[in-house]
Structure 1
Amino acid sequence: MSAIRLESDGPVVTLRLDRPPLNAFDSALRAELAAAARELADAREVRAVVLYGGERLFAAGADIKALAAMGPEEVRGWNRALQRTFDEIARLPMPVVAAVTGHALGGGLELALCADYRVAADDAVLGQPEVRLGIVPGSGGTQRLTRLLGPARAKNLLMTGRGVRAEEALRIGLVDEVVPAGTVHTAALDYAARLAAGPAAALEAIKEAVDHGGDAALSTGLALERALFTGVFGTADAATGLRSFLAEGPGKARFGGPPPDGHEEDGDEEDGDDTKGRTT
């Protein structure tokens, strides 16, 4: 049975992990996740993605039994493939929202860190417990956690391996929103739908500017921003937004022009109606 399900809700797709009981990452789940990432990256009708592990938990990390059976050479290749797969999720051109329920530990947290926005249940627990096994995170934990929280907080979580409850996770910026358990997926879908109703090319450009410019020198980041600004300025959505502002004032534009590759899509205007007015 497939361990990954793609569930469509208009222009928003939920990428759901479905490998009970813990959504632990093994080679099969990793391969399916990579295939799903490639499918989503090429899907022009998809405007936002929600990562979800189900009502019980997000993901508990790597399959430790399978990991313990590997030698150094085998684990190096396995880790390289998982890191590459998570990079594919992080590089998706559309906004990605993680809906974190229950536990997001080890590779589960590393996957959530690939999202642009994280919604967590009020009883969620997040952490990188690898140090308690005598190993270290290998799929982005040391790097994405440091960029998100800063070196001191990242070292605290990485070196102690402790779990962080939702309230603290919100306070330190590990998650962006906390909602009652049982409403996480709905809240993530609502936020994703609001973004999906926006201008696709501009959202992709913002994501690229922040993700790639933030690690570069300021002059390099500004050059990237300038190039992205010029490129987006010629899109149909930019024309719609500027025209709407002049005619109706700010916040009235209804987007749905061609995606970044320049192809027209059908049904975007209707999707915009469906998502308009949703709140988180």
Structure 2
Amino acid sequence: MTELLNKDGVRVTLGGDGDTVATVTLDNPAKRNAQTAATWRALTEAGRLLPGSVRVAVLRAEGKSFSAGLDLGVITPEGIPGMPSFHELARYPEAQLDDAIAEYQEAFTWWRRNDIVSLAAVHGHAIGAGFQLALACDLRVCADDVQFAMRETSLGLVPDLTGTRPLVELVGYARALEICATGRFVRAEEAERVGLANLVVPRAELDAAVGDLTAALLAAPRDAVVETKALLRGAVTRSYDEQRAAERAAQGRRLRDLAGVGE
């Protein structure tokens, strides 16, 4: 294993044949992997550090919780070191506030890149920012003790770390609204039933299940997986005829590549 990063509660290692698998670990179990601006900067850096050999990015966490969400120190007037408090953010000019939130969102964005498949191994609590981080990934394998919750509205806020669109895509508008507006827990059985979890396994089997799925993802030719991910991600915004055209174009590229025929 090769360590690429270890800072601010985020550790990144490379492994697999030819360094094809990157493992990003939330590593602040004493605080239940609560997130701060420093966490998000480290996660953003993790995405930038991944070499081109990486095909699968696994997100996991140490300790009893995947992530308890935002470090609530930021809602106090004094805030936390290295991150403006909510009171300070509220006084930013509109453009500066927009830029600050956009910077935070970068930590949640790169997991959707077409050149990798991202996989969250989720156990225990995944609350607020933790829930949104799991939603940032393409796939979620969950332990049977998982508890998702979107608690931002309970604080008078909204989910703003890119989680609203994938949540609606996965469970539908009405259920997404109910989950966010009530802040209730979504446990393992429901998570699997409504599509939040691709797979639920006993906690002791989580690492093995993630390893099996990772191996299956690596079995197919990389370019075919990349093209397929791009097709599926674009399907939600294309019309039927536009999607048909995108499929034809992608298949043409694959056929030419397999046959060794230039463009």
The bucket for the TM-score relative to the shorter chain is: 0.7 to 0.9
Counterpart among 15, 18, 23 of residue 9 in structure 1: 15
1:55-84 CA-to-partner distances (Å, cap 9, x unmatched) read 522112222212552322365433211223
What is the aligned-residue RMSD (CA, Å)? 1.9
In 1, are the aligned partners of 2:114 and 2:230 still within 8 Å (CA)?
no
Query: Counterpart of 2:13 in structure 1: which amino acid?
Result: E
Counterpart among 26, 29, 37 of residue 27 in structure 1: 37
Tell me by how many angstroms 1:152 deviates: 0.9
TM-score for the superposition, normalised by structure 2? 0.83
Distance 1:234 1:58, change over 3 A: farther
Matches within 5 A, 1:158-237: 158-235=180-257
Tell me by how many angstroms 1:114 deviates: 1.7
Matches within 5 A, 1:149-160: 149-160=171-182
Matches of 1:47 and 1:180, distance apart in 2: 26
For structure 2, the 5+ residue unaligned runs are 1-5, 77-84
Tell me by how many angstroms 1:54 deviates: 2.2
1:33-62 CA-to-partner distances (Å, cap 9, x unmatched) read 11111222xx23222111111252211222
Matches of 1:85 and 1:239, distance apart in 2: 39
Query: Counterpart of 1:19 in structure 2: which amino acid?
Result: N
1:160-197 CA-to-partner distances (Å, cap 9, x unmatched) read 11011101111111111111112212211220121112
Counterpart among 96, 112, 117 of residue 134 in structure 2: 112
In 2, are the aligned partners of 1:209 and 1:225 still within 8 Å (CA)?
yes
Matches within 5 A, 1:1-280: 2=7, 3-10=9-16, 11-20=20-29, 21-40=31-50, 43-68=51-76, 69-70=85-86, 71-72=89-90, 73=92, 76-235=98-257, 238=258
Matches of 2:33 and 2:114, distance apart in 1: 22
TM-score for the superposition, normalised by structure 1? 0.78
In 2, are the aligned partners of 1:213 and 1:222 still within 8 Å (CA)?
no
Matches of 1:54 and 1:34, distance apart in 2: 19
In 1, are the aligned partners of 2:145 and 2:187 still within 8 Å (CA)?
yes
Query: Counterpart of 2:40 in structure 1: which amino acid?
Result: R
Query: Counterpart of 1:193 in structure 2: which amino acid?
Result: A
Alignment size in residue pairs: 236
Matches of 2:114 and 2:125, distance apart in 1: 24
For structure 1, the 5+ residue unaligned runs are 241-280
Structure of higher RCO (CA pairs closer than 8 Å, 6+ residues apart): 1
In 2, are the aligned partners of 1:129 and 1:163 still within 8 Å (CA)?
no
